[in-house]
Structure 1
């Protein structure tokens, strides 16, 4: 028993006095340079998910959330009448996990880019076939799958960061898109 305790203590002392150099052993180097992480994005990425009553995914939106920061948003930062990526950074991405109707148009399951053209009284909402784009620089209406117009609504309070959420409706769900003092509802329903 004494040999085991003495031997164990000797091994611990040897380990403490002569630490293993991970770099010499060909293992991962945990130096400060390798542990630098990027700062939090000024417009962090988020997602909104719509699930059916059986908890199965129906639709998902991935978008970046720019902040208001005391700026005038619509008509100034986001010009009226111009195609907008509907967020910041990469263009907003909508994935449908099953065929859905958007207004009167049937949209097949798949991934689309969600663009909007904000206006004072209504927005044009666009589902576009070209995906993996940054901003709206590569936007072309030749790739549009569907375009619908939805009325602008007054938000009951200021929305500091661009926000999206699905809200159940009688026929499916509405995608709410809100920022500053405005929001719109984009209707989705089952194609069956």
Structure 2
């Protein structure tokens, strides 16, 4: 029975993939969710994966503004980057955590980044259901931390969030 169920599930997955039932959103930005346990805490990040599309060297400080900007839509006159494309990027913690030495309660947060040429400010907002950062309000910030930027050795076509082993 167990093998029959497994075979049925595998067949269903293959049938979906072969019949082309899996399509990208109209804007071409793939959606992703990554989750991992770090110690006893589950960390889950949901985001859209914009592509470079031949714009190498024109993303940071150009396509993605540095700091905060009036996006010309919504209520925010000083919006950070939404850390992805389309809807808010969200990050969820199953327990209370400490980030860069600062406490953050367990829960689900809108995740924004105020990019800069040397550092980035990571913003965890209590308002996690907004579309993008058009309605960002700093009064909803649960935590802000500054982190240095690191250059990658090679280009990545689509935004990819990964979790690396961290000391606990």
- TM-score w.r.t. length of structure 2: 0.74
Q: Tell me, which stretches of 5 or more residues in structure 1 are unaligned?
A: 1-36, 172-192
The answer to whether residue 63 in structure 2 is matched with residue 66 in structure 1 is no
How many Å apart are 1:52 and its aligned residue? 4.1
- For 1:137 and 1:98, the matched residues in 2 are separated by 29
Which residue of structure 1 aligns with residue 134 of structure 2? 137
The 5 Å alignment of 1:150-189 reads 150-171=147-168
For the pair 1:84 / 2:81, whether they are aligned, the reply is yes
What is the RMSD computed on CA atoms of the aligned residues?
A: 1.6
Does the Cα contact within 8 Å between 1:45 and 1:63 map onto a contact in 2?
yes
Unmatched runs of 5 consecutive residues or more in structure 2: 1-20, 69-79
For 1:186, the equivalent position in structure 2 comes to none
Q: Tell me how far apart the structure 1 counterparts of residues 38 and 50 of structure 2 sit (CA, whole Å).
A: 29
> Deviations for 1:60-115, whole angstroms, at most 9, x for unmatched residues?
00000000001121111101122010000101000101111111221111100000
Which has the larger share of strand? Answer: 1
Residue 57 of structure 1, CA deviation? 5.6
State how many pairs are aligned.
133
Higher relative contact order (CA 8 A, sep 6+): 2
Q: TM-score, normalised by structure 1?
A: 0.66
1:167 and 1:70 map into 2 onto residues whose CA distance is 28
* C-alpha distance in 1 between matches for 2:87 and 2:115: 18
Q: Are 1:104 and 2:104 matched, yes or no?
A: no
Structure 1 pair 57–100 and aligned structure 2 pair: CA distance change class (3 A) = closer
Q: Distance in 1 between matches of 2:23 and 2:31?
A: 13
Tell me, what secondary structure is at the counterpart of 2:32? strand
Are 2:43 and 1:46 aligned?
no
